[in-house]
Amino acid sequence: MNAVVEARRNVRVTLRVNGEQTEVLFAPYKTLLEVLREEMNLTGTKHGCELGECGACAVLLDGVPVLSCLVLAIECEGRSIETVEGLARGSELHPLQAAFADLGGTQCGYCTPGILMTAKALLDKEPDPGRERIREAISGNLCRCTGYLQIYESIEEGARRMREEAK
C-alpha cells in the first residue's frame, strides 16, 4: 500500500532511537538530523554542512553509518537509529569514548560524534581493523583540528579495549 503524506501537514511517526520507541510529530520535509536535534533534543549529533560533505551528522541506521542531514525522517519508521547519546552505558563511557578522551582524539569536538558512530559501526563488524581500514571508514568525516593521527590512535586503542572486554 502506498503511504501518502500530504504537503503542509505534520506527520506523527514512531522512531526507534537508541533502542527506545518514541512518537514524534514533525513537518514531513524534516531530515533525520533536524528531528533528532529539534524535536527530540538529541543535540549530540552535530549539524555541519547540511549537504553531505562533512560527516558531522553521521548516525547509524540499522547499524550502517549514514549522514542524517540527507535522510528524510519520515523514511526512518521501523528502522533502528543509533546516535552518540546511546553509546555510554549509564555513567560509564563506551570504550571508544574513553579512548578518545585519554588519547586526545577530540579537540574542538565537533566532528567527534560522527566519528565515534562511524568507528563503532566499523568495530562492530571488524573488531581488529588495520590502520588502512580505519582510514577508509572515516574518510567521510572531516576534522580540522587533530590532523587525524590522534583519531586513528584513539580508534585503535578503543578497539583494543573492546577486544579485552569481549574476552
Partner 1 sequence: MMRLPWFRHHAPDTLAEAARILAGEGPNAMLIAGGTDLLPNMKRRHQSPSALISLARVEGLKNISNGSGGNGEMRLGAGLTLSDVVHCAAVREKYAGLYQAAAQVATTHLRNMGTLGGNLCLDTRCNYYNQNYEWRKAIDFCMKKDGDICWVATASKRCVAVSSTDTAPALIALGAKVRLFSATGEREVTVADLYNNDGMDYLTRRPDEILTSVLLPAASGWNSSYWKLRRRGAFDFPVLGVAAAVKTASDGTVEEARIALGAVASRPFLVEKAGGLLVGKALTDDAIAEAGALVASRAKPMDNADLDIYWRKGVVSSFVGYALREIRGDDMRVTRLRIARHAL
Q: Which residues are near partner 1 by CB under 8 A?
A: 1-8, 27-31, 34, 47, 50-53, 55, 58, 64-67, 69-72, 74-75, 118, 132, 136-137, 139-140
Whether the CA torsion 83, 85, 91, 93 is positive or negative: it is positive
Dig out the grid coordinates for 26 from the structure.
514533525
Whichever of 6 and 164 has its CB closer to partner 1, that residue is 6
* Residue 99 beta carbon to partner 1: minimum distance, rounded to whole angstroms: 21
Whichever of 25 and 72 has its CB closer to partner 1, that residue is 72
* Residue 43 beta carbon to partner 1: minimum distance, rounded to whole angstroms: 14
* Residue 119 beta carbon to partner 1: minimum distance, rounded to whole angstroms: 12
* Residue 87 beta carbon to partner 1: minimum distance, rounded to whole angstroms: 18
Distances (CA, A) of 153 to 64, 84, 96, 147: 22, 19, 11, 12
Q: Using N-to-C axis directions, what is the helix angle for 95-103 and 112-125, rounded to 10°?
A: 130
Find out whether 31 and 47 touch, Cβ atoms under 8 Å: no
Distances (CA, A) of 2 to 5, 14, 55: 10, 18, 32
Whichever of 135 and 161 has its CB closer to partner 1, that residue is 135
Whichever of 42 and 66 has its CB closer to partner 1, that residue is 66
